[in-house]
Amino acid sequence: MAAASYFDTVQKIYIAFYQRPADPAGLKYWADRIDAAGGDASAVVTAFAESAEAVALYGTIDASTIGNVIDAIYLALFNRAPDAAGKQFYVDGFIAGTFTAGSIALSVLDGAAGDDAVAIQNKAQVANEFTQQVDGRPLNDPYFGTGSSFDVTYQGDTDAQAARDILKTVTANPASVISPSGVTTALQDSIADATDPIIGRTSGETFMLTVELDTIDGTPGNDTINVPYANPLGGTYTTLQAFDTIKGGAGVDTLNIYVKGDPYSKGLVDVGNNKALDIKDSKGYNVVQTGTIEGVEIINAYNGEGNGWVFGGPALDAKGFGVEPPAIDAAKFVGAEQIWQIDGNTNIINLASNTTAGFRGDAAIHSRLTAAAGVATINAAFDVPVYSESSAYLGVGGAELNAVHLTGALNATYVELNIDHSMAEVALTTDFDLEVTFEGNSTLHTLNAADTSSEISVDGKTQLTSITTGSGDDWVITATSAAHTTITTGEGGDTIRVDAEPEVKDIGSGSVTVDAGHGDNRISLRNGAKAISVTAGDGDDQITVHSDAIFTGAETLTVDAGDGYNLIELSHGAQDTRITTGADSDLLWIDTAVLTETKTLHANLGAGSDQLNMQNVDFAGLPATWSIDAGESQGDMDAVVLGAGTGRTFAAADYVALTENLQGFEILGLLDYGKGETFNIDASRLTGYEMIAFIGAGTYNLTQVTDQVIGIEWSGTLNINAGGNPAQDLNVIVYDTAVEGTDITATGNTLNMAVMANAHNSEVYVAGDLKAVNATLRSTPDTDAGEFHEAAVYFDINHEGDGVLANLQSIQVAGTGFAYIENHAGGALATVDASGLTNAQWDGVTGSFVPAPSLIYMTENNAVQETIGLGAGLDAVLFGVTVDEARVPQVVAAFDAAVDFQELVTAWENSKQDQAAQDVLDAGFTLTTLAGPDATPAEILAEQAALEAALKAAVLDATLFASTVLNTDTIEGLNLVAAQGTPKVLDFDASDVVMVGIPIFGGTPAFAALTTTTTGQSLEGLDSLNLALQAVAQSDTDWAVFQYQGNTYIYGDKPSLLNGAVNQLDDSDLLVKLTGTIDLDLLVSSLNHVPE
C-alpha cells in the first residue's frame, strides 16, 4: 500500500501527541515508516513520545506525569477532559507497563466514538488542509513533502504554538471547521514569513475535470484545477479533452495534469532527434495537450505513473509509433508563468520570456526548450535535490535568443547545456554547475556568464571569440585561429587552456588575451598565437607553456601572474617574452629552448623568495638580450637552480650569466641527479650568492670560498677551500645523504656544519685541515613507518699519522643524531663538546622511540690534555682502544682467544724491567699455543713471532691510555643510571659508557673504589689533588676510582717498559677527571663491564 494511505493516521497522531498539524516532510516521513512496518502505527508512536518536541511539551513522562499527558491528549483531540475512570485505566496500564505514552494516544484515537470521533475528523480535515497549503502541493501529489521549496516556512517553537492555537478552535461542531481560505488567512497572519509564496495569495476553489465536457471559470482566488486519470465511477480515462475549456480567474491558479500509462511491452525506437517508446501495445491517459486553457499561471504535469508516457506526446501514426519528438507547446497555455514537468522530460516549444520551464522529480532530464518567435530569453527552473541519473541534458534555442537563465537545484554529476540556435552573443546565469556546448550553432561567438557563481565548463574551439565566466571554479578551452580571442574569468580557481584545432600545425594569425581574475588559476598554453597576453590576478596560479606546443612565429608572450605563490613553466617562448610576478614566492621554470627561440626575454619575479629553474643551459651560446631579476625585498632568499649537464669547470660566460643576466638571486643550486659528474667552481666569482648548493653523487670542488653557505644533498663528494685564508670559516649544510654518505674535505679555520636527515639517513665523513668543527645534527623520526632517519658525523684524526685533521683542536656536536670520533696520536684535538647531543632509535617491541648511542669517542692521544663534554644521550668514551685494532687486528683477535688473560696480566704487573716482556711471552706460550696442542715446532715458532710483534707494536705502555697524570683528560656530563630497585647496580642500557685499556690486554682492568689512604685517612681530607693521587698510587689497588673536592677521578697505576714503577705516582699513570661527583659503585660497574 502507498505511504500516502497513512497520511490521515499520521495526521491524527500529530494532533493527539503534538497538538498541532503535521509539517509536510514529517507527515511523509512517518507515513513511510508505517508503510515499511506493514501498516502498524504502533511502530512509530513510541518514537513520537520520545522526541524532543514531546519532552518540551510534557517533560519527562513517568508515573507522576502520565496523568497530565492523558489530559493533554484528550484536550487536543476532543476539547475536553477525560472521564475519571478512563483516565485511571490508562494511568494504571502505564504504571503496569501495559501502555506507553504513545500507545495511550493511539488507543484513545482508535476508541473514539460519537462526538469524539467527529471532533477528530474535523480536526484532521483542517490539519490536512493546513499541511498541504504549507507544502504548496496537494496531498495526492507524488512529490508532496519532498524537496526544499515550500509555500510556507513552518518550523520552530513559535510556529508550532501558533499552529496549536489554530487547531484547538476546531471541535465536533461543523461550524468550527476552518475553510481552505480561512486556513490560508491563518497561515498568512500567524506562521508564514514575509518572503513565503503564500503571502498575498487569496484562497480559491478546487475543480476536478471529468470524462464529460468541462468548462471551468476561475474565481478571484487561487484556484486549483485537477486533471485526474480516474473516473469517480470507476476505471481509467482521459479527462483532458479537446472541447474542455479552462479559464483562470484573478488569482494565481494551478492546473495539475496527472498522466497514466499502461505497462508497455516494447523498447525504444529511433524517431529522429530523440528516442521514443514503441507503445503500440499500451495506452496513455491525459497525454495529449488539447482543449482551451487560458489564464492559469502554474501548470504541473505529473508523469510518475506514465510508464513511459509523458504529457505532450508522442503523436502516433497508424501503427502506434511516435512520429515526432514529444513536445509541450507553451503557447497553448495562454498566460502560463510556470510549466512544470514532474518526472518528465518533454521538449517545450514557443516559450515566452515570462514563462519558466520547470523540472521536478528524479527522472532523467533530456529536453530541449525553444523560444517563441521574437523572444530573446529562456528561463528554466529545477527543483531536483535528489536525482536518480548521473547526467542531465538541456538544449535551448531560438532565432533571437540572447539570454538563458537557469535557477534552482539540479543535483546531477554532469549537466550539459547546449545552445543550439541563438544570436551572436548569449548571456548565461545558472545556480548549478554545468558544461556549455553549442552543437549545431554557427552564429554564437560570445558567451557571457559573468554573473554566475557556479562552475562553468566551455570549449569555445575556434568559434567563440569572447568567453566570460563568473566567480566559480570554471574550465575554459579555446583554440587559436585568425581571430582575436578574449577569455575573462572572475574570482575562483579557474582552468584555462589554449589549444590548436585537431590536425592544425601552426599558430594562426590571431591573438589570445586571458584575464583569469583573482583565485588559484591553472592556465595551460598548448599552442601559441601571434600575440598572447595572460593576466592571472592575485592567487596561487600555475601557467604552463607545454613542450609539444607550437610557438614558431609567435611574436609576443606577456605573462603577469600577480601576487601569490605562482608556478610558471616555459618550454617555449615568443620572440619577445616578458614575465612579471608580484609579491610572495614564485617558481619560474625555463627550458633550454626558450633562451634560443626568443630574441628578448625579460622576467621580474617581484618580492618574495623566488626560484628559477633552468635545464642544461650552456650560457656561452646564449644571446645577451635576456635578463631575469629576482626582485629585492628584505629577508628574501631567491634561488636559481641549474640542470647539471656534463661536468665542467665554470668559465667566464657562466659567471657573467649568473651574476649579470641573473640579478638579485642569493642561492645557486646545481642538479646532478645520478650522473656523478665533476664540477669546479670559483666561489669568489659568484658575487651576491649567499648559498651554493649541490644535489647529486658527483664531485664538487669549490675554491676561494668566503662566507657563502655550501649545501649538498645525496652522496656526493664536497671539496671546499677557503683559498689560502687561514682565518676564513666555512659553512656547510648536508641533506639526506642516503646509504653511501657524503665525504667533505674542508680547508679553512672553523667548519660550521648542519647535517639534516629528513627522508633518509645522512652520514658525513669529515676530512681536511681545520682548527674547529661545529656540527648540528637533525634526525627525523617517522612513527608511521617505524623508522628513525639518523644524522651522523664521523671524524678519523691523524689515522696512522696521515695528517688528516691533525690541526683540529675542538669539535662541538649538538642536536639529535650520532657522532663517531677517533683521536689518534699526533693530533691536536683537546676539546669535544657533545653536551647538547642526544639520539634515538625505533623499538619495534614497544612501538616507540627509545634512547640510542649519541657519541662514541675513542682516543689514544696522550700528548694533549682533552676535555670531553657529554650530554643527555647515551655516550661512550674509550681510552686506548684503537691502536691494536688498527695495527694487528688478526693477531690480537687470536691472542684474546688463546692466551690466559689473567695470568698474562699478573706476569706483567710483577715485572720490574723491560726484560719482563720476554718473560710474559714465554709465560703466555707455556700456558697454551695459538697453533694448538698438536702444532709442529715450526707452527709454534711462527705464532710466537706473531704474538711478539703484536706486543711490541702496542709497546705495552700506559701512554697508550691517552690520558696521563701529565696530560689529564676531562669528561663532563657523564650519566650513569642505577637499575630500578638496586641503587648500586648499573643500568647499562640507560647509561653512558666509559672504558679504559681494552686493547693492551684484550680485556678490562678490575677497578675498585677508594675513599681512604693506606693509613685510613680520608682522601677528601688531604690538602691537594696531587697528595690524594700519591696516596691512591701507593695503595695495593692499581685500578681505582675516587672522589676529591667535588669531582671524580679514574686512576691506573701502570709501570712502563720505558719508565714508571708500580705503587708510585708517575707522569705516565692513567688519570681521567670526571666533573662532579659520580656514584663510585656505578662507575666501577661501568669500567669493569665489557659490552657484548
What dihedral angle (degrees, nearest 10) is formed by the CA atoms of 169, 170, 175, 180? 100
pLDDT tens digit string along 465-514?
999 999 999 999 998 887 899 999 999 999 999 987 666 677 888 999 99
pLDDT, residue 112, reads: 85
**Distance (Å, rounded) from C-alpha 379 to C-alpha 393?**
15
Residue 965 in this model has a pLDDT that exceeds 90: no
Tens-digit pLDDT profile for residues 1055-1081: 543 344 567 888 878 899 999 999 999
- Measured CA to CA, the distance from residue 315 to residue 305 in angstroms comes to 19
Give the span between the Cα atoms of 133 and 1028, in whole angstroms: 107
Phi, psi dihedral angles at 383 (to 5 degrees): -125, 70
Angle between helices 42-49 and 101-110 (to 10 degrees): 130
Number of DSSP helices (H) and strands (E) in the chain, helices first: 20, 72
Cα–Cα distance between 479 and 463 in angstroms, integer? 8
The average pLDDT across 693-703 equals 91
Distance CA 55, CA 75 (A): 18
Whether the per-residue pLDDT at 920 is higher than 50: the answer is: no
Would you state the cell numbers that stand for residue 894, as one nine-digit string? 687470536
Q: How confident is the model at residue 622 (pLDDT cuts 50, 70, 90)?
A: confident
Residue boundaries of the structural domains of the chain: 3-201, 902-959, 963-1087
Identify which of 608-622, 716-730, 806-820 has the greatest average pLDDT. 806-820
Residues 773, 763: Cα–Cα separation, whole Å: 16
Q: Are strands 780-782 and 787-789 parallel, antiparallel or unpaired?
A: antiparallel
**The model's pTM:** 0.68
Check pLDDT > 70 for residue 642: yes
Rg value, the chain, Cα:
48
DSSP state of 236: B
Average pLDDT, the chain: 84
From the list 831, 1071, 865, 825, the residue with the least C-alpha distance to 964 is 1071
DSSP 942-984: HHHHHHHHHHHHHTT-GGGGS-BSTT-EEEES----EETTEEE
Q: Calculate mean pLDDT across residues 137-156.
A: 84
Categorize the per-residue pLDDT at 1050 as very low, low, confident or very high, splitting at 50, 70 and 90: very high
H or E element at residue 578 = strand 576-580
Q: Distance between CA 329 and CA 722 in Å, rounded? A: 90
Share of the chain above pLDDT 70, in %: 86
Say which range, 838-842, 843-847, 900-904, 926-930, has the weakest mean pLDDT: 900-904
pLDDT computed for residue 233 by the predictor: 66
Q: State the SS3 of 437-497.
A: ECCCCCCCCEEECCCCCCCEEEECCCCCCEEECCCCCCEEEEECCCCEEEEECCCCCCEEE
Q: 1006-1035: string of b/e by CB count within 10 Å (b at 16+)?
A: ebbebeebeeeeebeebeebeebbebbbeb
Strand partners, 691: 667, 709
Cell of 801: 699519522
At residue 163, φ and ψ (nearest 5 deg) are -65, -40
Which of the four pLDDT bands, split at 50, 70 and 90, describes residue 250? confident
Please compute the mean of the pLDDT values over residues 106-122 and round it to a whole number.
87
pLDDT of residue 1014: 87
Q: How far apart are CA 946 and CA 953, in angstroms?
A: 11
Is pLDDT above 90 for 1049?
Answer: yes
Question: In this structure, how many other beta carbons lie within 10 angstroms of the beta carbon of residue 792?
Answer: 22
Show Cβ contacts of residue 814 under 8 Å, excluding neighbours closer than 6 positions.
775, 776, 777, 834, 835, 836, 837, 871
Q: Which residues contact 909 (CB under 8 A, 6 or more apart)?
A: 1038, 1055, 1062
Which range has the top average pLDDT, 104-118, 637-651, 776-790? 776-790
Q: Per the structure block, which three cell numbers stand in for 639?
A: 634561488
Rounded-to-integer distance, Cα 76 and Cα 82, Å:
11
- pLDDT attached to residue 595: 82
For residue 360, list its beta bridge partners.
Answer: 342, 383
AA letter at 243: F
Q: What is the pLDDT of residue 1055?
A: 55
Give the integer Cα–Cα distance in Å for 225 and 333. 14
Report pLDDT for 953. Answer: 38
Other C-beta atoms lying within 10 Å of the C-beta of residue 237: 16
Q: What's the pLDDT at 905?
A: 32
Q: Cell digits for 521?
A: 588559476
Confidence grade of residue 913 (pLDDT, cut at 50, 70, 90): very low
Q: For residues 1023 and 230, which has the higher predicted lDDT (pLDDT)?
A: 1023
**Mean pLDDT confidence for 168-189:** 91
Q: How would residue 892 be classed by pLDDT, with cut points 50, 70 and 90?
A: very low
Half-sphere exposure of 337 (CA within 13 A, CB side): 9
Q: What's the pLDDT score for residue 1036? A: 85
Helix axes 101-110, 66-78, angle to 10 degrees: 30
**Pick from 263-267, 563-567, 918-922: least confident:** 918-922
Mean pLDDT of 132-137: 90
Alpha-carbon dihedral 618, 623, 624, 629, rounded to 10 degrees: -60
Q: Is the pLDDT of residue 835 over 80?
A: yes
Mean pLDDT of the region 585-599: 88
Distances from the Cα of 205 to the Cα of 222, 226, 254, 510, angstroms: 7, 11, 11, 65
Span between the terminal Cα atoms of the chain, in Å: 83
Between 161-175, 857-871, 924-938, 984-998, the lowest mean confidence (pLDDT) is in 924-938
Q: What is the pLDDT of residue 934?
A: 56
Residue 634 DSSP label: T
Strands 678-682 and 699-703 turn out to be: parallel
Residue 344 to residue 365: CA distance in whole angstroms: 7
pLDDT tens for each residue of 381-408 = 998 877 878 899 999 999 999 999 999 8
What's the distance, CA 338 to chain centroid?
46
Provide the pLDDT for residue 325: 62
Check if the beta carbon of residue 931 is closer than 8 Å to that of residue 939: yes
Dihedral pair phi/psi, residue 160, rounded to 5°:
-65, -40
Whether 635 has a pLDDT exceeding 80, the answer reads: no
